[in-house]
Structure 1
Amino acid sequence: MKGSDVGLQFLTGELQGSHDPSGVVFTVLAALSGMEREYIRDRTLEGHESARKRGKTIGGAGVTDDAMLTMARHLRDQDMSLRDIAKKLVITHGTKKGQHPSPATVMRMLREHDERTGTTVAD
């Protein structure tokens, strides 16, 4: 990389100065960055699992309700796609009031209902 005049320069800190990015400093920093990213990911997943065990929901505020589930089930029985079902539903409360739920939200709502009731949907 020296031939292309590319370098790594730290403006502050203990490593202040210019360094060859192909050198050991850059390699060590890249490895530490990867390790930190994995650590954050693992801790986040542990926190989600802990919250689930305590009965807490993960993610944003729920936008579905019983009326929406009933309508989604009715539309699914008419062989509508998740995308089309989502376009027919309207969120009735919260900050997303008046908007349509995403197809992923509809799929999750129907799947959770099916798991609770032991229902299976024919393909």
Structure 2
Amino acid sequence: MTRIFSEKISTRATKRPELEAAVKLAREIRSSGVAVTLVVHEHKRLGRGIELAMLAEELKGSHDPSGIVFTVLAALSGMEREYIRDRTLEGHESARKHGKTIGGADVTDESMLSMALHLRDQEMSLRDIAKRLVITTYTKKGQHPSPATVMRMLREHGEQASTAANAQ
């Protein structure tokens, strides 16, 4: 019997319905005494680090009774994730040095900045400021910016003001 489970979801997601269903089915079949082979397209699809170690313990079988294969895969997956993260951060830093915006379209504008500065002067938190601002353009129109976007907008404004003051 062959059963295919397919999931297009981030490996960082905490809920993985298709993976959970595959593991559940494997457990049920194995409990009836039938050997089960679980094939995964990419080892990173199983998860990383502690999740993979827990899955390894759950799926331990006759071909890998010690779980060493899963342990090695968990280590490799963790290293791969760190490598991807480091390369992404390097790319962002390089883009910033060349004056490029990171993260897609800029959703802030002058009126949003003005309101954010006013609310900051009232000593509101970034989270509270973000809740009071509304994006007026692009696909996020009508939504609130994230606190990180508000922080970046205020930081960039401060940097521009500082540069202008130093130029005089």
Q: TM-score, normalised by structure 2?
A: 0.52
1:90 and 1:111 map into 2 onto residues whose CA distance is 19
Contact 1:86 1:100 in 2 (8 A): yes
The structure with the greater share of residues assigned to strand is: 1
Give the aligned length: 110
Q: How does 1:1-123 map onto structure 2 within 5 Å? A: 9=37, 11=39, 19-118=63-162
Structure 1 pair 53–107 and aligned structure 2 pair: CA distance change class (3 A): closer
Structure 1 pair 104–30 and aligned structure 2 pair: CA distance change class (3 A): closer
| Deviates most, 78-87 or 62-71 | 78-87
The code of the aligned residue for 1:31 comes to A
Q: How big is the shift at 1:11?
A: 3.9
Q: How big is the shift at 1:18?
A: 5.1
The code of the aligned residue for 1:107 comes to M
Contact 1:9 1:19 in 2 (8 A): no
Structure 2: gaps of 5 or more residues:
1-29, 31-35, 42-60, 163-168
Cα-Cα RMSD: 3.1
- Partner SS, residue 68 of structure 1: helix
Structure 1 pair 65–21 and aligned structure 2 pair: CA distance change class (3 A): farther
Q: How big is the shift at 1:63?
A: 0.9
The structure with the greater share of residues assigned to helix is: 2
Runs of 4+ in 1 over 6 A off after TM superposition: none
